[in-house]
Homo-oligomer: A and B are copies of this chain.
Amino acid sequence: MTAPPIESIHSHRYWDRSIEPVHRVDPGTEVALVLGDASGGQILATDGPEAIGLLDLGQVNPCTGPIAVDGLEPGDGLVVTIVDISPSPWAWTANIPGFGLLADDFPDARLWISTVSGGRLHTPIGAEIEIRPMIGTIGVAPAAAGRHPILVPAAHGGNMDIAQMGAGSELHLPVMVPEALFSAGDAHAPQGDGEVCGTGAETGATLTVRLDRASRPHPGTPWFTHEAPVLDRRCTATTGIGPDLFEAARESTRRAVELVVASTGVAPVDAYLLLGLIGDLRISEIVDAPNWVVSLHIPARFL
């Protein structure tokens, strides 16, 4: 028998240790949370790109919770086992002006509404992508009093946007306040390493997690295990080479946009959005001073 899920109306749009828990569990308990999408319900499946301009950024990234875990204390580790993620049957992906790795290159709003069926995301440009639902924002209350922005990840976890945070993963978070105060939101199905365009396939979801106390004290930054499905061995990768990893990441992303455009004929902004879903940023080399190499890997079947 499973308890009813915690509804998304029990959510917060900033991190704050003083937010009252909406639920309290014993360590080892499985709990389900209904997560609103990253727009907080502002973007509808029937919307066009004008919806991006109307977004109230104060309402984005709602996180359901917090959930208090009985007996946990600062210094402990909270083990979050992701048991299941059931996404909504549709998702949005957008270029939000001023946001994303290539914000300077893409000043205009763009919105995709994709549908999910048969285990695949059907995008408006015709690309069909296996869903790999994952949780973008997942964390505990930070140690310092006051409000902390919900969009910025930090030592307490939060909006880490880690592509491998899917079912079967086990996230170890540092407990910073009594009872941990766990929350989650911002489901994606899927998102590439880096989330280069600033969004994944943004979707609501029902998340089931088991919350437990770690057997050892926590080292202080989040760590996790995962069993990410590897769908594609054949990939094409672009590079950025130089002394600044951020600029190298931008360079490799720009080259990847050009490559997708040349191969598929889609508009540059659509190539950019596609890369947010299926492009993976790796640091290839970070020791051959003064130049580092960042590469962006694209499954070859999308080219």
Contacts and interface: CB of A to CB of B under 8 A. Distances in A.
Name the residue in A101, A155, A196, A285 with the highest tally of chain B Cβ atoms < 10 Å from its Cβ. A285
Interface in A239-289: 239-241, 245-246, 249, 251-252, 255, 258-259, 262, 280-289
Interface stretch (A14-22, A76-84, A230-238): A230-238
A219 interface: yes
Contacts of A246: 245, 286, 292
Interface stretch (A50-58, A158-166, A205-213): A158-166
Nearest to A224: B237
A100 interface: yes
Contacts of A159: 285, 288
Interface stretch (A5-13, A27-35, A121-129, A293-301): A293-301
Contact of A255 (B221, B236, B245): B221
* Number of copies of this protein chain within its complex: 2
Interface residues of A, number: 68
Contact of A287 (B99, B227, B262): B99
Contacts of A287: 99-101, 161, 194-198
Nearest to A258: B219
B227 A230 contact: no
Contacts of A45: none
A225 interface: yes
Given A160-B241, A288-B161, A236 B221 contact: no
B286 A195 contact: yes
A104 B71 CA distance: 39
A236 B219 contact: no
A228 interface: yes
Name the residue in A162, A197, A240, A262 with the highest tally of chain B Cβ atoms < 10 Å from its Cβ. A162
A109 interface: no
Interface in A161-202: 161-164, 193-198
Contact of A153 (B155, B225, B241): B241
A219 B162 CA distance: 30
Name the residue in A233, A280, A295 with the highest tally of chain B Cβ atoms < 10 Å from its Cβ. A295
A89 interface: no
A284 B162 contact: yes
A215 to B, nearest CB: 12
26 contacts: A99-B287, A100-B287, A153-B293, A160-B239, A161-B284, A161-B285, A161-B293, A162-B239, A162-B285, A164-B237, A194-B284, A194-B287, A195-B286, A195-B287, A196-B287, A216-B262, A221-B238, A221-B240, A221-B255, A222-B239, A223-B239, A224-B237, A226-B235, A246-B292, A281-B282, A282-B282
> Which 4 residue pairs spanning A and B have beta carbons closest together?
A245-B245, A161-B285, A281-B283, A230-B230
Given A225-B235, A246-B292, 4 more contacts: A160-B284, A162-B284, A162-B293, A224-B236
